[in-house]
Amino acid sequence: MKRPLLITLALPVWFFAVTSPAWAQPKPVAVTDDPGGTYFGRKPDPQKTRHYYVAAEPVTWDYIPAGKDEVCGLPLPPAVSANRENRKLRYVQYTDGTFTTKVADNPSLGILGPVLRGVVGEYLAVTFLNRSNQPLSMHPHGVKYDKDSEGAFYQPSPGKGAAVVPGARFTYVWQLDENSGPLPNEPSSKAWLYHSHVSNDGETNLGLVGAIIVTDPRRARPDGTPADVDREFATLFMIFDESGQGLTVQDAASASAAIPGDSVGNLLRATAQTMAPPAAPAQKITFEKNAELVEQGQRMAINGRIFGNLPGLEMNEGERVRWYLFALGSEQDFHTPHWHGVRVVEGGIRRTDVVELLPATMKVADLLADNPGSWLLHCHVDEHMTNGMFARFVIYPRDVVGADRSPPRAFLGMAGMQVR
């Protein structure tokens, strides 16, 4: 009986919205009815489902919280140090559907959203709440979904979760089927990206990106973590564009076209507005000036941190450490992460200390922490490293105990996970 009542209440709002001038349009209001939660028309088996609660929220993001380069001691470029903070959106994890208690962030993930994880044979149910002023979604790579849980907006017939309007929520259901997990000759777990996908992939530039980890059940502990691994890290190599020339975070006033319960037409209108270039500047921007703006706005980051400001890459001597490596972005986003002091095995087949990444590449590299010390992890593309695409990782020696040893919380996304 709840739905007819909602429709009755929503119809006058919709009619007013599509017939009234822009200045008179109502502000987005919260919609708590969740049209998702099914997988090809059925509720997934609760015994095999891990439920996550994730909100997209505006944040002020600081690319350099320390205010300086703490690793290489390089002077910060003036255009960067004068503009450390930017408005971004982030996927933030909560403990339950009330969206009141946040799950503590893992500092090493930086701007990345929560790690969502499971084992082949399980389902992920992700209740998404849009606390921004623009339509957003969660689109997963690598898992199986029906049209409603695809989380991508395009024609024809976008699914119910294609564009979650401001204030609304939607529960995506993703199956971790056999094809989501590693092949027998791949490492025991693998990672996939998820990101918002309403207007275009530029929404990752807003900060809306995270990782899904899937473990092979034949090589998993009872809690679903890979049995042959002691510790995990996830790092995204991506150049964020803070020039204002691309997709930007919308404020409430400019997002008035996005109305909960709205038609596809109005959503498209809102989306077009989201994609529109910023307001015309007072003077004409030349091609050269535009190129300069873009160059000054580039933040060549690992997990949204630059110049050695990504914390928490710490491990203990002897540990088997799995790195999930990603890149995203545009034609400049070819990255070559390189570890000093150690060697890795890429994808279970190749020994190296440099891994090649292109936009939306997802790779696994396994590292044996056999060389204690404080070491550099950096992109080996010269320009990227010069502009801050590096971090420090630490291997604590075996004989160190107590506070100097890395904390025991070793696996990504384990806190706040609910199996029900």
Site residues, Cu ion (CB under 5 A): 335, 379, 381, 384
The residue (of 14 and 334) whose beta carbon lies closer to Cu ion is: 334
Tell me how far, at minimum, the Cβ of 132 lies from Cu ion, in Å: 29
φ, ψ for residue 298, nearest 5 deg: -80, 125
Tell me how far, at minimum, the Cβ of 296 lies from Cu ion, in Å: 18
Tell me how far, at minimum, the Cβ of 9 lies from Cu ion, in Å: 51
φ, ψ for residue 302, nearest 5 deg: -110, 115
With H, G, I as helix, E, B as strand and everything else as coil, classify residue 45.
coil
Count of C-beta atoms within a 10 Å radius of residue 26: 12
Tell me how far, at minimum, the Cβ of 70 lies from Cu ion, in Å: 20
Helix (H) or strand (E) holding 364: strand 362-368
**How far is Cα 112 from Cα 376, in angstroms, rounded to an integer?**
21
The residue (of 174 and 393) whose beta carbon lies closer to Cu ion is: 393
For the record, the structure tokens of 322 come out as: 């799995």
**How far is Cα 305 from Cα 308, in angstroms, rounded to an integer?**
7
Tell me how far, at minimum, the Cβ of 333 lies from Cu ion, in Å: 7
The residue (of 247 and 379) whose beta carbon lies closer to Cu ion is: 379
Strands 49-62 and 418-419: antiparallel
The residue (of 6 and 294) whose beta carbon lies closer to Cu ion is: 294
- Contact between 109 and 326 (Cβ < 8 Å): no
The residue (of 31 and 381) whose beta carbon lies closer to Cu ion is: 381
φ, ψ for residue 81, nearest 5 deg: -65, -25
What is the 8-class DSSP label of residue 270? H
- Contact between 391 and 302 (Cβ < 8 Å): yes
The residue (of 303 and 316) whose beta carbon lies closer to Cu ion is: 303
For the record, the structure tokens of 26 come out as: 């109502």
**How far is Cα 64 from Cα 415, in angstroms, rounded to an integer?**
26
Tell me how far, at minimum, the Cβ of 73 lies from Cu ion, in Å: 20
The residue (of 119 and 379) whose beta carbon lies closer to Cu ion is: 379
Buried b (16+ CB within 10 A) or exposed e, 198-218: bbbbbbbbbbbbbbbbbbbee
Tell me how far, at minimum, the Cβ of 344 lies from Cu ion, in Å: 17
Tell me how far, at minimum, the Cβ of 76 lies from Cu ion, in Å: 18
What is the 8-class DSSP label of residue 377? E
The residue (of 117 and 378) whose beta carbon lies closer to Cu ion is: 378
Helix (H) or strand (E) holding 7: helix 2-19
